[in-house]
Amino acid sequence: MVTADSRESLFWVSANGVRFGIANDESTLRALGLDPSHAVQAPWPLLRTFAAGPALSREAALLARDTVPTLGQVAVMTTTAKAGG
Protein backbone atom coordinates (compact mmCIF):
# COMPACT_ATOMS: atom_id res chain seq x y z
CA MET A 1 0.00 0.00 0.00
CA VAL A 2 1.30 3.44 -0.89
CA THR A 3 0.12 6.95 -0.26
CA ALA A 4 0.69 10.16 -2.17
CA ASP A 5 3.14 12.69 -0.70
CA SER A 6 0.32 14.54 1.05
CA ARG A 7 -0.96 11.34 2.73
CA GLU A 8 -4.48 12.35 1.72
CA SER A 9 -4.94 9.50 -0.76
CA LEU A 10 -4.26 5.78 -0.44
CA PHE A 11 -3.47 3.44 -3.31
CA TRP A 12 -2.79 -0.26 -3.72
CA VAL A 13 -0.28 -0.97 -6.49
CA SER A 14 -0.59 -4.53 -7.72
CA ALA A 15 2.28 -6.72 -8.86
CA ASN A 16 1.16 -6.31 -12.49
CA GLY A 17 1.37 -2.50 -12.32
CA VAL A 18 -2.20 -1.38 -11.69
CA ARG A 19 -2.94 1.27 -9.06
CA PHE A 20 -6.21 1.06 -7.17
CA GLY A 21 -7.52 4.02 -5.20
CA ILE A 22 -8.58 3.00 -1.70
CA ALA A 23 -11.38 4.78 0.13
CA ASN A 24 -9.86 6.21 3.28
CA ASP A 25 -12.63 5.15 5.64
CA GLU A 26 -12.40 2.75 8.53
CA SER A 27 -14.85 0.15 7.18
CA THR A 28 -13.07 -0.16 3.81
CA LEU A 29 -9.61 -0.37 5.37
CA ARG A 30 -10.78 -2.98 7.88
CA ALA A 31 -12.50 -5.05 5.14
CA LEU A 32 -9.28 -5.04 3.09
CA GLY A 33 -7.14 -5.78 6.15
CA LEU A 34 -5.06 -2.63 5.65
CA ASP A 35 -3.49 -0.30 8.19
CA PRO A 36 -2.80 3.17 6.73
CA SER A 37 0.02 3.70 9.22
CA HIS A 38 2.00 1.08 7.25
CA ALA A 39 1.57 2.91 3.93
CA VAL A 40 4.74 3.98 2.14
CA GLN A 41 4.83 7.49 0.69
CA ALA A 42 5.34 7.86 -3.05
CA PRO A 43 5.33 10.97 -5.22
CA TRP A 44 2.22 11.42 -7.37
CA PRO A 45 4.28 11.79 -10.59
CA LEU A 46 5.47 8.22 -9.98
CA LEU A 47 2.08 6.83 -8.90
CA ARG A 48 0.25 8.23 -11.91
CA THR A 49 2.48 6.23 -14.27
CA PHE A 50 0.73 3.02 -13.17
CA ALA A 51 -2.47 2.03 -14.98
CA ALA A 52 -5.56 3.16 -13.07
CA GLY A 53 -7.80 0.42 -11.77
CA PRO A 54 -11.23 0.78 -10.16
CA ALA A 55 -11.69 2.30 -6.73
CA LEU A 56 -11.61 -0.11 -3.80
CA SER A 57 -14.47 0.80 -1.51
CA ARG A 58 -17.52 -0.79 0.02
CA GLU A 59 -19.81 1.29 -2.20
CA ALA A 60 -17.92 0.31 -5.37
CA ALA A 61 -18.02 -3.38 -4.40
CA LEU A 62 -21.79 -3.27 -3.87
CA LEU A 63 -22.51 -1.50 -7.17
CA ALA A 64 -23.92 -3.86 -9.78
CA ARG A 65 -22.88 -3.23 -13.38
CA ASP A 66 -24.06 -4.75 -16.62
CA THR A 67 -20.93 -5.56 -18.59
CA VAL A 68 -22.61 -7.25 -21.55
CA PRO A 69 -22.65 -5.04 -24.67
CA THR A 70 -26.19 -4.29 -25.83
CA LEU A 71 -25.49 -3.30 -29.43
CA GLY A 72 -27.72 -6.06 -30.77
CA GLN A 73 -25.60 -6.59 -33.89
CA VAL A 74 -23.51 -9.61 -34.76
CA ALA A 75 -20.71 -9.62 -37.32
CA VAL A 76 -20.97 -12.48 -39.77
CA MET A 77 -17.75 -14.32 -40.65
CA THR A 78 -17.44 -16.25 -43.85
CA THR A 79 -15.16 -19.23 -44.22
CA THR A 80 -14.53 -18.64 -47.94
CA ALA A 81 -12.32 -15.58 -47.47
CA LYS A 82 -8.65 -16.23 -48.17
CA ALA A 83 -5.97 -15.01 -45.80
CA GLY A 84 -4.07 -11.96 -46.94
CA GLY A 85 -6.47 -10.92 -49.63
Query: Which ranges constitute the DSSP H helices of 1-85?
Result: 26-32, 44-47, 58-62
CATH architecture of 2-62: 2-Layer Sandwich (3.30)
Domain boundaries, the chain: 2-62
Any idea which of 8-17, 20-29, 60-69, 73-82 has the lowest mean pLDDT?
A: 73-82
10-13 β-sheet, strand order: 40-42, 2-4, 10-13, 18-22, 51-52
Is the pLDDT at 1 greater than 80, yes or no?
no
> What does the pLDDT look like over 10-57, one tens digit per residue?
888 999 999 999 888 888 888 888 887 888 888 889 999 999 998 888
Q: Please calculate the CA angle 71-73-78 and round it to the nearest 5 degrees.
A: 150
Is the pLDDT at 59 greater than 60, yes or no?
yes
- With 0.95 as the threshold, say if the pTM is over it: no
Quote the pLDDT of residue 58. Answer: 79
